[in-house]
Amino acid sequence: MSEPGTVEDPSPLRIGNASGFYGDRFAAFREMLTGGPLDVLTGDYLAELTMLILARERVKDPELGYAKGFLRQLGDCLGLAAERGVRIVVNAGGLNPEKLAQAVGELARRQGVELRVGHVTGDDLLPRAGEFTDPAGLLAANAYLGAFGIADCLRAGADLVVTGRVTDAALVVGPAIAHFGWQRTDFDPLAGAVVAGHVLECGAQATGGNYAFFTELAAHGHDLRRPGFPLAELHADGSSVITKHPGTGGAVTVGTVTAQLLYETGGPRYLGPDVTARLDTVRLEQQGPDRVRISGVRGEAPPRSLKVGLNRLGGWRNEVTFVLTGLDVDAKAGLLREQLEPVLKEDGPAEVRWTLARTDQPDAATEQQASALLQLTVRDADQAKVGRAVSNAAVELALAGYPGFHVTAPPGPGTPYGVFTSAFLPQPEVEHWAVHPDGTRHAIDPAPVTSADVPDVPGVPEVPGVPDVEAADFPSQNDAGPTRRAPLGLVAGARSGDKGGDANLGVWVRTDQAYHWLAATLTVERLKGLLPETAELTVTRHLLPNLRAVNFTVEGLLGEGVAAQARFDPQAKALGEWLRSRHLDIPEALL
């Protein structure tokens, strides 16, 4: 890697990813270090649920609160990274980046590896819990910091940088800032790096993992059993090429990159602490096998406020899944509910939810295929109301309930569940510190220009906004020709996920003709008809013509977030696949 900050060096910066979540493939770090040349290797370990898990660990032991698994990964290949001159940037510091940085230093000393370790801090706002609405039970409060603290550590000579809560894309943007010497108002290059970082952050999701058209990739000879992890060749203008190491599994195509760009995003403006990236300006081009170029990304000034993720314990929950086999499934479910009604309604749990999944088939060849699942979920602030009282009542019906009574697992005493909410603070009210390898603490100033300030700052040109595309640009398809009733997934891909209690659902197609039909057809009203679970919720649709995509935000679908486990699919990971399975009238020309 060239000396950070050398603007004269036009060579691309090769940044790879080796972790998309805490628990991702352990061997990925070694695979990325040995598979081909890299300048920087990143690892993303943090998610809303992970922050709650780390917070509970920190309550038990103040020395913890970081991703311990990263230390084991690093111990396996620290010498290899040093030998190859690959810098490492990870957010594995979680709630305790300083302690992880110390542990990394001790690991390096034990292995006899010379390693300069920096870390980024300031995101932990738990000591200021009283400033947030309903601070009771708050276990973690962390601001999403930007990339300039990472860049500052790298410029100070760090070989490895540990952060707490930064934006996921910051792990890529920080090294790019240090390498190319970008300034705070270089919005277009910064936005390009944010887009590249978003593609990399979820690991193998960019190389064929969780991909809607996976059967097509397999049919074309791509090995999906063990997809390689992605890397980006970043250029000084913010453009990039997404690729992977030669000989690794999976594939990098316009489709796989599109799917990841739609993941957990919303409208055309992708807000961040350093820049607002315009997703509606992104252009993708297949340059060759496993090479997709990203270009044309425009950036605008960042918002004035930083997002703060708040994690708290919300109470206790319990769950029992009853198996209903053979005939009279509805009657069996009705009897069970009547038998449990006294314990559930007479001073029972605050929240009771029954869900009947009709997985049973008539005249089934196996007992499992003849069975339906009835799930009881209870939640309350009092563990006693959801614990043994409910579990014992369920077990007592074993010989007194419906015929064939059994459950998928013995009910337990109840478990705590978490709640995730967001708050916002003005950027100047959140500290951002880069701690250099020599221990020097350097304050990182907040963004000097925010979206409302741009026109008033001398010498800073206003970044012209790109007009949002309106639905009127895609008139009704009355002339689409003959149609056939078929699953949407025959022509459209989808990728979905969670943002707190909301769900994101991106849908894309692969030709201009198909997009004209999709944008005119898949309206909010049509989506609610296809997914009845969303009918009473607020749904917002955004059009992204460059990606031939529509992106939906479904507010409140996930209740209080993934840790609350309020839904069968608590992170909405398969919401897109449900939509693709629904039937509607599709022009035969597209099929």
* Cα separation, 269 vs 283, whole angstroms: 15
Concatenate the DSSP letters of all residues of 119-187 into one string: EEE--B-GGGGGGSS--TTEEEEEE-B-SHHHHHHHHTT-SEEEESSB-TTHHHHHHHHHHHT--TT-H
| pLDDT grade for 500, boundaries at 50, 70 and 90 | confident
Instruction: Check residue 368 and give its pLDDT.
Output: 96
Strand, helix or coil at 258?
A: helix
Q: Is residue 2 scored above 80 in pLDDT?
A: no
| pLDDT grade for 211, boundaries at 50, 70 and 90 | very high
Q: What kind and span of H or E run contains 30?
A: helix 28-35
Q: Give domain limits for the chain.
A: 13-309+422-443, 310-413, 471-587
* Cα separation, 557 vs 559, whole angstroms: 6
Please, which residues have CB within 8 angstroms of residue 280's CB and are 6 or more apart in sequence? 268, 466, 468, 469, 543, 544, 545, 546
Report which of residues 187 and 466 the model is more confident about.
187
Q: 361-388 pLDDT, tens per residue?
A: 999 999 999 999 999 999 999 999 999 9
Report which of residues 215 and 1 the model is more confident about.
215
Instruction: Check residue 465 and give its pLDDT.
Output: 55
- Residues 101-121, buried b or exposed e (16+ Cβ, 10 A)? bebbeebbeeeeeebbbbbbb
**Mean pLDDT within 201-205:** 97
Please, which residues have CB within 8 angstroms of residue 300's CB and are 6 or more apart in sequence? 187, 191, 269, 275, 276, 278, 451, 454, 463, 465
* Cα separation, 218 vs 291, whole angstroms: 18
- Domain 310-413: which CATH number of 2.40.128, 3.30.70, 1.10.3470, 3.30.300: 3.30.70
Give the single-character DSSP code of 455.
G
* Cα separation, 17 vs 202, whole angstroms: 8
**Token pair of 16 as six digits:** 């790879």
Instruction: State if pTM tops 0.75.
Output: yes
- Sheet containing 502-508: order of strands: 493-499, 502-508, 549-554, 539-544
Give the single-character DSSP code of 465.
P
Q: Is residue 354 scored above 50 in pLDDT?
A: yes
Strand, helix or coil at 279?
A: helix
Report which of residues 468 and 344 the model is more confident about.
344
Q: 485-498 pLDDT, tens per residue?
A: 999 999 999 999 99
Report which of residues 398 and 346 the model is more confident about.
398
Q: 232-270 pLDDT, tens per residue?
A: 999 999 999 999 999 999 999 999 999 999 999 989 999
* Cα separation, 272 vs 306, whole angstroms: 8
